[in-house]
Amino acid sequence: MKKENQTRLTEEIIETAYRLLTHKLAFGGLTARNESSFQLEFGHILKTLGQLYEFRLADKFHLEFETYISLNETSIKSKSDRARVDLLIKYQDDNSTTTVAIELKFFKKENHREPNNRYDVFKDISNLELYKKHGIDICYFILATDHSHYYNQDNYSPDTSDFDFRNGKSYKAGTNLQYKTDKPYGQDITLNNDYAFSWDNINDLYFLKLKV
């Protein structure tokens, strides 16, 4: 299989799995109580779909949870040159391999960990950019929440307003994001790419999918 066709099919698997996951969660077909169960449910859907895309004997779809990627530089997330990725996918045949890294977040209103949650989103995006620099073909960030605070909150505190991914907002490559509190939660973050944040609101849940 040509690499471009393999990559297209891999993205098709992820996009289809995302639609299935979000609708099953929003309509009650699945229940995710925390980030771990959200990760497991998504992984199960991905693996099931991926196996259906093994059209020939040579086609192999492989998925790993919480595995490590070696980097040539220190990541903000792990503070080392080894980064742990939530989901790592390899879709391959005898001629080529397409790799995917997916970082997931699951924010529940009852565990309102603000504003640190917003910082952690940009930290994950920063890591995904590093993965792409070190050989990962496709990177996604996916967030699910029952809290509209992240989706359409009127405003955020000036001290942490840099970390803003509300629906319709955007980020310009090279913009420095800073925690301006007396004791910052983390170091400044600067991303390499432009991003437009477009959410899906299904029933009482909100979902953000970002291709990095």
On whether the CB atoms of residues 138 and 10 are closer than 8 A, the answer is: yes
Q: Which residue has the higher pLDDT, 193 or 33?
A: 193
Q: What are 153-191's pLDDT values in tens digits?
A: 999 999 999 999 999 999 999 999 999 988 889 999 999
AA identity, residue 84: R
Q: Which residue has the higher pLDDT, 49 or 78?
A: 49
For residue 78, pLDDT beyond 60 = no
In sequence order, the 6+-apart residues with CB closer than 8 A to the CB of 112 are 147, 149
At residue 59, the 3 state secondary structure works out as: coil
How many whole angstroms separate alpha carbon 150 and alpha carbon 164?
A: 8
How many whole angstroms separate alpha carbon 198 and alpha carbon 165?
A: 9
Nearest to 118, CA basis, from 39, 171, 70: 171
How many whole angstroms separate alpha carbon 138 and alpha carbon 128?
A: 9
Nearest to 138, CA basis, from 81, 199, 88: 88
Q: How confident is the model at residue 77 (pLDDT cuts 50, 70, 90)?
A: low
AA identity, residue 47: K
pLDDT of residue 26: 94
pLDDT of residue 34: 87
For residue 80, pLDDT beyond 80 = no
Q: What are 25-69's pLDDT values in tens digits?
A: 999 998 888 899 999 999 999 999 999 999 999 999 999 999 988
Torsions phi, psi for 13 (to 5 deg): -60, -45
Task: Render the burial of 63-83: b for 16+ CB within 10 Å, e for the rest.
Answer: beeeeebebeeebbbbeeeeb
How many whole angstroms separate alpha carbon 172 and alpha carbon 153?
A: 21
At residue 21, the 3 state secondary structure works out as: helix
For residue 76, pLDDT beyond 70 = no
How many whole angstroms separate alpha carbon 187 and alpha carbon 38?
A: 28
Query: In the chain, what are the domain boundaries?
Result: 3-211
Torsions phi, psi for 74 (to 5 deg): -80, 130
Beta strands in the chain (DSSP E): 60-70, 82-92, 97-107, 138-145, 170-171, 176-177, 189-190, 195-196, 199-202, 205-211
